[in-house]
Structures are given as C-alpha cells and as structure tokens.
Homo-oligomer: A and B are copies of this chain.
Amino acid sequence: MTTSNNPINQQLLPTQRTQIKRLPKRGNYETQTIYNILDEALICHVGFIANNQPFVIPTAYGRVEDKLYIHGSPASRMLRTLTQGIEVCVTVTLLDGLVLARSAFHHSMNYRSVVIFGTANLVNDMEEKNAALQAFTEHVIPQRWKEIRQPNKQELQGTLVLSLLLNEASAKIRTGNPVDDEADYNLSVWAGVLPLQMVAGKAIDDERLIEGIEVPDYVQNYREARNL
C-alpha cells in the first residue's frame, strides 16, 4: 500500500482544533499511531451540526491510505446532511482498561482515541466507491470480501459513500498504572489495572445456511485474522 500523501511515521501538524490542551503528554500526532487506532476499532462516532444542533451518530467505517470512508443509505439524515460539505468531527475510541486507584479522585481509564476534523466529500466515482466498500468490509472482517457477492451496479448506485481526508487529526492515549496521591499509597486498598478487550464469541450460523457450509477460519479466529 502506498501512502504518498501521509508517509508512515509522518507527524501531522497540530491545529487549533486538534491540539491536545488537556494533559498534552497524552497527545500523539503520528499518522501511524492514528492509523493503527482507526484500523483496530470497528465503529466511529460522527459529529455534525444540523439546525444549529449537534448530532453524534455511531457508524462503521473503512480506511484507504489517508482517507476515512463512511457509507449508508441515501435516506440517512446524517449522510444527506454531510454531503452539503459541512464541518464534521469523527471520533474513534478504544477502551483498553479500568485504572483502579486508591482514591475515587484518581480513578481513570486506559484508552486510545482519535479525533478527526474536516469536511466530508461525496464519492461519485464508481471505482473509488467499490474500493471504499471493499475497505469497509475488509476493515471489519479481513478475508471476507473475496468470498461474498460483491456489490452490483444497482447496489453501488444505491449506496452513499463519503470520504474524509485524514490530514487534521490527533490521537490521545493513556496507558499504565494508576497515579495516586503519595499519602494514599499506604492505604490497604487493592489498586491496579483491569484490562478490557473486545472479544469475539462463537459464530452463530444463519438459520437459512446451506447444510455443510463450515464457519470460515477468519471468522473462527477473528482476532488473529485482524492481527490483534
């Protein structure tokens, strides 16, 4: 994969909007760090303004190089609003653990999040649209795309795809132990980190599945297939 616009290890320039002001040492502007978080998470929260009102809508997404793609029905209020070229804020959050301190005050969470700003562009080119949908599927479940019936012309036309350039974004990351007040380290309270992780369970066959079709390996070993 070429990354002509945002070579790996490049740093994005913090802007007024992306500069981490609160706890700046948690901020990170490396494209590779940002891409890794985007590639691991499964859903984003899209923020936009309609009628002077903020809306935050969860949706799936895909990434190709320095573009994030979201898609949906042309009947979606969110997508129709975004096609007007308005400002959007897309946030992706991975929760990695509970940080259990000795005092209530210092309880926290370990997390990795990305906040992206920009304006979404409607993807009209059928080839880019198809590539976006492929990225979308492969992002959620690698190796799936080649097995399934791919979109026909009617489905492609009936799907709205928006792209958002990943050139104004920042990551924020907390890791490690709780940080307690010095005096509290003497308290007889268990403290530490409880790691959290999104885990796949046992795949459930569709009730109309043709007899004899086995669960594919990339479904059975989902986290491994995603390199997690």
Q: Which residues of A contact B (CB under 8 A)?
A: 17, 21-22, 42-43, 45-49, 52-58, 60, 73, 75-77, 87-91, 93, 95, 97-98, 100-105, 107, 109, 111, 113, 115, 117, 133-134, 137, 140-141, 144-145, 147-151, 155, 159, 177-178, 180, 184-210, 213-216, 219, 222
Given contacts A58-B91, A98-B140, contact A195 B188 (CB under 8 A): no
Asked if residues A45 and B197 are in contact (CB atoms below 8 Å), the reply is no
Asked if residues B100 and A141 are in contact (CB atoms below 8 Å), the reply is yes
- Contact among B43, B155, B204 for A105, CB-based, below 8 A: B155
A82 to chain B, nearest CB (A): 11
Given contacts A77-B22, A102-B149, contact A42 B95 (CB under 8 A): yes
Kindly state the separation between the CA atoms of A117 and B50 in the bound complex, as whole angstroms.
13
Asked if residues B100 and A58 are in contact (CB atoms below 8 Å), the reply is no
Kindly state the separation between the CA atoms of A205 and B99 in the bound complex, as whole angstroms.
11
Asked if residues B54 and A151 are in contact (CB atoms below 8 Å), the reply is no
Chain B residues within 8 Å of A90, by CB: 56
- Contact among B21, B190, B213 for A215, CB-based, below 8 A: B190
Interface centre among A52, A58, A184, A209 (most CB of B within 10 A): A58
Kindly state the separation between the CA atoms of A202 and B196 in the bound complex, as whole angstroms.
9
A153 to chain B, nearest CB (A): 12
Interface centre among A54, A101, A216 (most CB of B within 10 A): A54
- Contact among B105, B137, B219 for A190, CB-based, below 8 A: B219
Given contacts A95-B42, A184-B149, contact A89 B196 (CB under 8 A): no
Question: Would you mind naming 29 contact pairs between A and B with Cβ atoms under 8 Å apart?
Answer: A22-B75, A43-B95, A43-B111, A45-B45, A45-B56, A46-B56, A47-B47, A56-B89, A56-B91, A100-B144, A103-B148, A103-B155, A104-B137, A104-B148, A107-B148, A109-B140, A177-B206, A185-B208, A186-B210, A190-B213, A191-B208, A194-B201, A194-B203, A194-B222, A195-B201, A195-B202, A196-B198, A196-B199, A196-B200
Given contacts A149-B104, A188-B213, A202-B195, contact A141 B54 (CB under 8 A): no
Q: Please, which residue of chain B has its CB at the minimum distance from the CB of A88?
A: B54
